[in-house]
Amino acid sequence: MTKNRKNPRQKRLHAIFVRFLLGYGTGAALLACVVIGLYFALIALDCIRIPSYEQNQIMAASQAIRTGGQVEGELLPDTCSYGVYSREGSYLYGTLSGQEQRAVWEKGRDWQTTGLYGKFWQRIEKDNGNIAFISYQVMAKFVSPALRTIFPNAELLFLAVLGLLLAALTVVVPRFFGRYVDRRLLVLSRAAARVEREDLDFERERSDIREIDQVLGAIYKMKEALRKSLREQWELEAKKEEQVCALAHDIRTPLTIIRGNAELFLETEDIREIREWDREILDNVEDIEAYLSILQEAMGPAGGKKDSARAADGGRELFPVRPWMEEIAERAQALGRSRQVQVICRSSAARGCEAKAADGGVGWVLEGDKKRLSRAVLNVISNAVDHSPEKGKVQVRAETTFAPSGEGRLTVAVEDEGPGFSREALWRATERFYQDGEARRKGHYGMGLYIARTFAEEAGGSIRLANLCEGGAQVLVELPLLRETPQSGQDRKLSDLQKPENMKKL
């Protein structure tokens, strides 16, 4: 796993927020500059009059108005209104409406409206004794009468345009910021969705935002912990299922012996044979009880773990080859009797089971789970008996061989007179639940040879399949041999015993 190094290009979330605020401020300033620049450009192009334009024109024309006659209409801007009165207050001429004519004279020079852009009145006394009242506004106006009619106040128009542009900027910038963050949050939602679907086969993803990258790291750790937990759970369930299937399969062997011996009770009156068969029944009942105990333990909350621990450590023991093979031979023959198949075990010990070694096999031991290894060999023998014809024969031979390096190996060969293995079965018969046509017809479920291979491999051994030239199948169960030293009683392989420092002890 690669170390979680800091990415120098990573950004902080608050830095991104500040950057977008600065971007918003910069955009607002640019918009303001554009609008103000356009405003002054139109003024320079004489398209807009400045707010003081009317007042300046009145001041410039005031002297001519004092000394002249009816010159106000020619000297004043078209946006100004005016009225000329006599000293007695009679309205002489101008552009004022009827209501304004009376109001202007009554208020006189005190006339002035309130408000930011109200009207102002300029009072000018003419040399001929008449009095001129001129109204004006302090605001920017378009030169074009048509534009002035639509937009009386040019300043307000530009302020409104600037406000609309700022409002648009206020909408666009947060949306852009949101999309920017959403694109970076997408990796979070994608990782969370995969964890939710229990699709945990993905690598740790990265983000250029530090806070999001930290959350991704936490999700990755959570994913790894969840995957480990699920893997352990799946392995536990698989172990339970495998153990249950194996035990359910192996219970068939003692049940077959019990049924066969019970049938033989009906065919003989020899009390010694009945007692012997009865003992075999009791032995196999004990095996069934042991299988059921293991089954009950395997179905418990930690059954798979206990079974794994037992296979790896707690179930291993040392046991001599000859007595074990005698026990296998006895149970194999009982299994053959129950199926009306002759099981022949070659042996010089109890019931003739023999280990052909240079020293007769004395002192040689196997290391492993004795019950599991017994189940492995008996499964192979049961499989051979099932595939043998009625009144047929099954040969069981136990031999020890030695390699040039001096390592010993026990080979249990089981040969039957059945149809043998198909081409596919030679490669796949030891797979779990594998069935060819012959196995399905005989009610097999593809567990026997798989169990045998599994238990043999736990003890460091193996299983090989072959077909005999004269017909029938051959299964070889090979297991490594150990030998105890007389002084220490500890296990040594033959290669260790051949060392000079160990030869004297032997």
**Percentage of the chain modeled with pLDDT above 90:** 17
Tell me if 52-138 shares its fold with 317-503. no
Amino acid at residue number 216: L
Q: Which amino acid is at 316?
A: R
* pLDDT tens-place string over residues 148-200: 889 989 989 999 999 999 999 999 988 888 888 888 788 888 888 877 777 77
Helices (runs of H) and strands (runs of E) counted in the chain: 17, 16
Is 361's pLDDT higher than 50? no
Question: What global pTM score does this model have?
Answer: 0.45
Paired tokens of 5:
């190094």
Q: Span 317-503: which CATH code?
A: 3.30.565.10
Domain boundaries defined on the chain: 52-138, 232-314, 317-503
Residues 190, 196, 198, 199: what is their CA dihedral angle, to the nearest 10 degrees? -10
Cα–Cα distance for residue pair 428/186, rounded to 1 Å: 47
pLDDT digits (tens, 9 = 90+) for 286-340: 666 665 655 555 555 544 444 554 544 546 788 888 888 888 888 888 888 877 8
**What dotted CATH number matches 52-138?**
3.30.450
Q: Where do the DSSP E strands lie in 65-183?
A: 81-85, 91-94, 119-125, 131-137, 141-142
